[in-house]
Structure 1
Amino acid sequence: MNIVEMLGYAASIMIALSLTMKNIVKLRVLNFVGCMLFTTYALLINAWPVAVTNGFIACVNVYFLIKKHQEKTSQQSPVY
């Protein structure tokens, strides 16, 4: 097994593992890592549809992680 195949398996494991998370933040972080690994894998094997799709999903994960972080910080009461 070469390094590119190992990268593909690692990506698959991360995606599968992310779907077992109860916490949405952990799910999105692990899914983001898996998507980035899949994007890298796809670029290495010239699988453009896979690279574009996983790159897009990674961006969606980042968007919702930022949104969740902003909601969390806006709900905290200011310290005077």
Structure 2
Amino acid sequence: MNPEITTYIGYSASIFIVLSFILKDVRKIRIVNMIGCICFVIYGIFNGMLWPVIIPNGLICFIQIYHLLAGNRKQ
């Protein structure tokens, strides 16, 4: 993939993660944070399999999905 596009994906990931700390609604926080984590996983893959980036963000993404789905069951 084009290195410039990969860089923009990394910047987008950072923006989504920071934005998730600004929001107050927990559901929105989880969704925005999950988007940031997905972007970081993509960034890690296209930058030569950066496992220290891919693994934690992949795990956080699954945790966010779990809590989003578990939250829907409680309501």
**TM-score normalised by structure 1 residue count:** 0.87
Amino acid at match of 2:9: L
Aligned residues: 72
Q: Give distance in 2, aligned partners of 1:47 and 1:9.
A: 16
Which structure is richer in relative contact order (CA contacts within 8 A, separation 6 or more)?
A: 2
Segments of structure 1 that go 5 or more residues without pairing to the other structure are 73-80
SS in 2 for 1:39: helix
SS in 2 for 1:19: helix
Displaced runs of 4+ in structure 1, greater than 2 A?
none
Pairing of 1:1-80 with structure 2 (within 5 A): 2-45=4-47, 46-72=49-75
What is the CA-CA distance between 1:69 and the residue it aligns to?
0.6
Greater share of residues in helix? 2
Aligned identity (percent) is: 35
Measured on the aligned residues, the alpha-carbon RMSD in Å equals 1.0
